[in-house]
Amino acid sequence: MQLQLSTWPEVEAYLAASRSVILPIGSTEQHGPNGMIGTDALTAAAIANAVGEATGALVAPPIAVGMAQHHMAFAGSMTLRPSTLVAVVRDCVVSLARHGFERFFFVNGHGGNVATVTAAFSEIYAEASLGAPGNRAGLKCVLRNWWESAPVKALSKELFGNAEGSHATPSEVSVTWFLHPDAQKPMALDPPVAPHGSFADAADYRRNFPDGRIGSNPGLASAEAGRRIYNAAVEALAADYRAFAA
C-alpha cells in the first residue's frame, strides 16, 4: 500500500490496524560509468514497495536526494547538507506521527546517509525526551541498508567476490538493470576493479576515483543477478519489518 496512491480515509483505516510505516530513502548521485544516477533512490523505493506488498505495510514516498556532497564533482549529482537532511527526516517522521504513526522503518539505498539519518533519529528522540513528561510509549525509528542483510551479502560475495567494492557496486547496478532493463549499459571497465581508498570533499573524491567507482567492477552486473539480489533483499527486509512492527 503506497501512501501516494492512497486516500486519507484509506490511511485512516490503515492506522486502525497498524501504527508502522516504511520510508524509502536514497540518493541522486553518480554511480560510475555504467550506473544510473538514481541508483540509490530507485533501489530503495522498489525494494521498500515490494516489502510493503509482502507485509501489507504502508510505504511513504521516497526521499530521493540524500547526503552526497562527495559526489558533487560528477555531473548530475545532487546533495542535501547534513543539517538539511536531518531536518527533512525529522519533518517526515513528525508529520506522520501527527496522524498516529509510531514505528518508522527506513529502507536505505545510500551508505552516505547512515550517519546523518541516525543523527536525525537522535534529534527526534531528544525532542521527545525533553518535551514529554513521564514515561510513556514513544516513537521508534530504525534504518536498514538493503544490501547489508546476511542473504544479500552472501549472494553478492558468491556472484562478484572481491569485485563488489563499496560504491557503484555490481550488486546495486544489477538491481537497477533488473528494475529497468531498457537502461542497461554493459561495458568493459579499465581497470576492471577500481581502487579502494578514502576521501573528504568532492574534489578529493574525483582525484582519487576518477571514474566514480570505489573498489568495484560494475562491468560484471547483469539483470539476472539483480533479480536474485532484489528477491533476497525483499525477503530479508520483510521478515525484519514484521518483527519491528510487532
pLDDT digits (tens, 9 = 90+) for 48-71: 999 999 999 999 999 999 999 999
CA distances from 114 to 17, 39, 225, 231 (A): 30, 16, 26, 23
Per-residue pLDDT tens digits for 193-230: 999 999 999 999 999 999 999 999 999 999 999 999 99
- The stretch 73-82 carries a mean pLDDT of 98
Give the pLDDT score at 80.
98
Q: State yes or no: pLDDT of 135 exceeds 80.
A: no
Read off the pLDDT band of 134 (50, 70, 90).
low
Q: State yes or no: pLDDT of 136 exceeds 60.
A: no
Give the pLDDT score at 168.
98
Give the pLDDT score at 138.
83
Give the pLDDT score at 132.
64
Q: What angle do CA 167, 179, 216 make, to 5 degrees?
A: 20
Cβ-based burial of 174 (10 A; exposed 0-12, middle 13-18, buried ≥19): buried
Which residue segments constitute the domains of the chain, with CATH numbers given? 3-245 (3.40.50.10310)
CA distances from 73 to 32, 34, 65, 197, 203 (A): 12, 17, 16, 17, 6
What stretch of H or E contains 136?
none
Higher-pLDDT residue of 138 and 199 is 199
Give the pLDDT score at 94.
95
Give the pLDDT score at 130.
87
Burial 97-122 (b: 16+ CB within 10 A, else e): beeebbbbbbbbbbbbbeebbebbbe
Which own/partner contact pairs does 180-188 have at CB distance under 8 Å and 24+ positions apart? 180/36, 180/42, 181/223, 183/36, 184/223, 185/33, 185/34, 186/34, 186/219, 186/221, 187/33, 187/34, 187/219, 188/219
- 5's grid cell: 496512491
Read off the pLDDT band of 35 (50, 70, 90).
very high
Give the pLDDT score at 129.
87
Ordered strands of the 58-59 beta sheet: 58-59, 20-25, 103-108, 140-145
- Cα gap 181→159, rounded to integer Å: 19
Q: State yes or no: pLDDT of 131 exceeds 90.
A: no
If you average pLDDT over every residue of the chain, what do you get? 96
- Cα gap 103→19, rounded to integer Å: 6
Per-residue pLDDT tens digits for 174-194: 999 999 999 999 999 999 999
Give the pLDDT score at 133.
62
Q: Enter the pTM of the model.
A: 0.95
Give the pLDDT score at 137.
62
- Cα gap 89→235, rounded to integer Å: 25
Percent of the chain scoring above 90 in pLDDT: 95
